[in-house]
Amino acid sequence: MRNFKFQNATKIIFGRGMASCVGEEILPYGKRVLFHHYGDEFIRNSAIYQTVIQSLQDQGLEIVELTGVQPNPVLSKVREGIEICKREKIDFILALGGGSVIDSAKAIGLGATYDGDVWDHYTKKHVIQTTLPVGVVLTIPATGSESSAGSVITNEDGHIKLLGSNGHTRPVFAIMDPEVTFTVPRYPMAVGGVDMMSHVMERYFTAEPHVELTDRLCEATLRTIIHNLPLTLENPTDYDARAEIVFAGNLAHNGLLDCGRVPDWSCHFIGHILGGFTNLAHGATLSILTPHWMEYVYKEHVDRFAQFAVRVWDIAYDEAHPEKTAEAGIAALRDFWRSLDVPLTLTEAGVTCDRLEEIAALVTEDGPIGGMRKLDKQDVLNILQASV
């Protein structure tokens, strides 16, 4: 197990009706709030929007709204939010939504305290160390962004989708009411579940030995998602199953499962760039890439993939042929995702992309990627081609 530091300051406020306290949670940070959310009429007419507005008004908070976030949040919207924050002297940013809104809010918070261009943070030209405080009312469980340290933004100029991450960007609180997520359509819930599982597996597949505790935590989180996600898709108002999914999505990406490990992140690195070029939902890029990545690397780490098969999927261990156990685990993952009706290839997603070599070059622009196995440009291209 590696040395590690773990700190997550996000206050989790979980359960039915908890959004009604959002105003009092914000009040200690100031009076002027940028309320950042999707801009369609569905949100404005929803019960959660009315609850949040009422709570803010009850505390005498001054509200400036910013709408228009899209599924892959873009730099132009972030810059618009930064301009508003500086002009209106905003004290606090409240995100009502899922990962796209939250990531956009985090980026706005960073840029609002910086004199240069916020894109500098994502290109690593300058790591911004201060931010306006951000709070979250979660409406879509998927990315774990409600208590993670990162945000992913797409620069429309070149379709470049990059991760910016440091501890300053963790929201100060996250309100998670499973009932609020009941109206999320089936497909976003399904690909959101894929994203949760991927967050766990990016950490689980490590070459680091002697990490039994976090192995078991990863396995328990995966098994919880595998059991409850189909239940929520079949019956969206099953509160107990939905509560398990909402909490699992948070645990999958709050940093705890990293402790003592060297994670991989190859599929996420490739998926971010692929999503920037294709505008696929992030979870869909992961359902496409992950099984192909597994097939590409498992022979060098057969024991870990066999452990995944046995502990996560209850597959019997073949002592004479452990590689067959590993292969059965990969097949079980693919079968589970197929049962969710998420795409397993670019063709199934309805995407034709003739820029795979360019994507592979961008993914490896700063050198090989991956923690379990280093992948160079040709490796990434091979995985992308297998994913067609």
- pTM for this one? 0.93
Mean pLDDT of the chain: 94
Distance, C-alpha 332 to centroid of its chain: 23
Phi, psi of 34 (to 5 degrees): -90, 115
pLDDT tens digits along 119-152 = 999 998 988 889 999 999 999 999 999 999 889 9
Which are the contacts of 306, defined by CB distance < 8 A and separation ≥ 6?
Answer: 317, 322, 323, 325, 326, 329
What are the start-end ranges of the H helices in the chain? 22-26, 41-44, 47-58, 75-88, 99-112, 119-122, 186-204, 212-234, 239-251, 266-278, 282-297, 302-313, 322-339, 356-363, 377-386
Tell me how far apart the alpha carbons of residues 17 and 14 are, in angstroms, rounded to a whole number: 9
**What is the structure's pLDDT at 71?**
81
Phi, psi of 163 (to 5 degrees): -95, 130
**What is the structure's pLDDT at 377?**
98
Confidence tier at 353 by pLDDT (50, 70, 90): confident
- The answer on pLDDT for 113 being more than 90 is yes
Confidence tier at 63 by pLDDT (50, 70, 90): very high
pLDDT tens digits along 168-225 = 899 999 999 999 999 999 999 999 999 999 999 999 999 999 999 999 999 999 999 9
Instruction: Identify the helix (H) or strand (E) that includes residue 367.
Output: none
Higher pLDDT, 60 or 42: 60
- The answer on pLDDT for 159 being more than 90 is no
Domain residue ranges in the chain: 11-179, 186-386
Same fold flag, 11-179 and 186-386: no
| Domain 186-386 superfamily per CATH | Dehydroquinate synthase-like - alpha domain (1.20.1090.10)
**What is the structure's pLDDT at 38?**
82
**What is the structure's pLDDT at 243?**
98
Higher pLDDT, 45 or 309: 309
Tell me how far apart the alpha carbons of residues 141 and 196 are, in angstroms, rounded to a whole number: 8
- The answer on pLDDT for 44 being more than 80 is no
- Residue of 80, 127, 86, 78 lying closest to 106 (CA atoms): 78
**What is the structure's pLDDT at 45?**
72
Phi, psi of 93 (to 5 degrees): -115, 125
The highest-level CATH class for domain 11-179 is alpha beta
Tell me how far apart the alpha carbons of residues 303 and 290 are, in angstroms, rounded to a whole number: 18
Tell me how far apart the alpha carbons of residues 303 and 193 are, in angstroms, rounded to a whole number: 26
- Residue of 313, 271, 113 lying closest to 305 (CA atoms): 313
- Is residue 272 within 8 A of residue 152, CB to CB? The reply is yes
Confidence tier at 42 by pLDDT (50, 70, 90): low
pLDDT tens digits along 283-306 = 999 999 999 999 999 999 999 999
